Amino acid sequence: MSARLLSVCLLLLIGTAPVHADQADTLVIGNDLAEIAAQLQATSRLVGRDDSSHYPPEVARLPSVGYLRQLSSEGILSLHPRRVVLSDAARPAVVLRQLDTVGVEVIEVPRGKRIADIPRKIEQVAKAFDRETLSPPLVAEQQRLAAELAALAPLKGPRALFIFNRAGMIPLIMGRGTEAHAALEQAGIENCAPFSAYKQVAAEAMVSLAPDFVIISRAGLQALGGEDNLWKLGGLALTPAGQHRRLVQVDDQALLNLGPRTVAAMLQLRRDAGALFP
């Protein structure tokens, strides 16, 4: 343990005091968990978040401890949390062991892979924040939305191209095994990308993919400079999607993070995609 970390640990221990029910004492790591905490009216308990958690606004205003896959003990302990509620995607594992060593309670919540996992996450976060009485209506709403999604017929025929883009990066096509592919699958939409993971695609390969429509986040489209620039991506203008300028914009965090907004975002995606092919 570094000297700096040791000094932070001592400050944490010296600052120990009786905990009141709504005292700000918990750090949340994982944007899905932060959104659930907000829906459970637990933001008053939060001392911080990670870089991925920027919704809702009251969470975004909290100090950040950095990226959830590059955490540091020093950054976490500087906020003096008594408890850390985090996604099992958080890294590195050694940081979690260090937190446990100095007496910080660590509650790890599995991220899950399907929308069926969301109710369980709500219940686990509710327990962590002593909000069990508030979780049943949220769980019921998730189950209602999931049933509504399951009742929709799959979009037969048209195939989607999901583009991931951020400012300063090269646009990537989301293939099999990605969170985007899982979202498309659960929304009843076929992914035109046959490859695994995500990759940059050359113009000739783009033409051969022949997507019928494009899905991109609003932030990603803005980073490209707008819709006109989207269709200038190599080969895209020569595809059915480009020839008919068929586009669906999404909130990718809501759609992909398996949080409380995910199923509603999938429903909206399915409806918007269906509206392109009346």
Contact between 130 and 120 under an 8 Å Cβ cutoff? The reply is no
Q: How many CA atoms lie within 13 A of 58 on its CB side?
A: 12
pLDDT digits (tens, 9 = 90+) for 112-159: 999 999 999 999 999 999 999 999 999 999 999 999 999 999 999 999
pLDDT digits (tens, 9 = 90+) for 185-224: 999 999 999 999 999 999 999 999 999 999 999 999 999 9
- For 275, the token pair is 């509206």
Residue in 217, 214, 202, 215 with CA at minimum distance from that of residue 251: 217
Contact between 36 and 59 under an 8 Å Cβ cutoff? The reply is no
How high is the pLDDT of residue 159?
A: 99
Percent residues over pLDDT 90 in the chain: 90
Residue in 147, 142, 148, 103 with CA at minimum distance from that of residue 125: 142
Q: State the average pLDDT for the chain.
A: 93
How high is the pLDDT of residue 194?
A: 97
Higher pLDDT, 147 or 16: 147
How high is the pLDDT of residue 13?
A: 44
pLDDT, average across residues 39-54 = 97
How high is the pLDDT of residue 7?
A: 47
Alpha helices in the chain (DSSP H): 3-14, 31-39, 57-60, 73-77, 93-101, 118-128, 135-151, 179-186, 203-209, 218-224, 227-230, 240-244, 252-256, 262-275
The reply to whether domains 3-148 and 153-275 share a CATH topology is yes
- For 249, the token pair is 């914009």
229-248 in b/e form (b: 16+ CB < 10 A) is: ebbebebbbebebbeeebbb
Q: How far apart are CA 84 and CA 91, in angstroms?
A: 13
CA dihedral of 44, 49, 53, 56, whole degrees rounded to 10? 10
pLDDT digits (tens, 9 = 90+) for 191-202: 999 999 999 999
Homologous superfamily of domain range 3-148 = Nitrogenase molybdenum iron protein domain (3.40.50.1980)
Q: How far apart are CA 182 and CA 175, in angstroms?
A: 10
Residue 71 has pLDDT above 70, yes or no: yes
Domain ranges of the chain: 3-148, 153-275
Confidence of residue 98 (pLDDT cuts 50, 70, 90): very high
Give the lowest-confidence range in 18-22, 76-80, 105-109, 244-248: 18-22
Class of domain 153-275: alpha beta
How high is the pLDDT of residue 168?
A: 85
How high is the pLDDT of residue 21?
A: 54
Using alpha carbons, list the distances in angstroms from residue 167 to 164, 223, 254: 11, 5, 19
